[in-house]
Amino acid sequence: MKTFAVKIPAGIRNDEKIRLIGQGKNGENGGKNGDLLIKINIDKDNKFRLEGCNIYTSLNLTPWEAALGERISIEGIDSTETVYIQKGIQSGDKIKIQGKGYKDGKGGRGDLVAEVKIMVPKNLTQEETRMYQKLKEISTFNPR
């Protein structure tokens, strides 16, 4: 059994192959050894989704962060980026961070795209319940 150290090129795509010349089967009748082909399989990830050169992720926000605006850190594949969330952002809105996606193999990069999901707490303290009740009483907002 042989062990190989293989450099995976930046921007390689799913199902592409890396060729190790002369590392395949022994040649017959004194011929050259064949090549070893390694097929790339990019695993699925729970946090990131790759589409072309863009990487998609979810950004979970609290209702108050979405309503008031906030500086938020978004984790990418090789860095953490800080972005300002605009007041009134909605679930489903997307925040695009240019040049922080997957490498394209030509020196460029796609974008990191964070899809906003506004999360409502399941269990409220008594004070939180009172505050939400007060907001319900004074708010004129009606999404329907």
- Domains annotated for the chain, with CATH where assigned, are 1-42 (no CATH), 49-124 (2.60.260.20)
Question: pLDDT for 80-108, tens place per residue?
Answer: 999 999 999 999 999 999 999 998 878 89
Q: What is the pLDDT of residue 129?
A: 95
Query: Residue 58 has what pLDDT?
Result: 96
The model's pLDDT over 43-55, given as tens digits with 9 standing for 90+, comes to: 888 999 999 899 9
Amino acid in position 3? T
Identify whether the C-beta of residue 57 lies closer than 8 Å to the C-beta of residue 112. Answer: yes
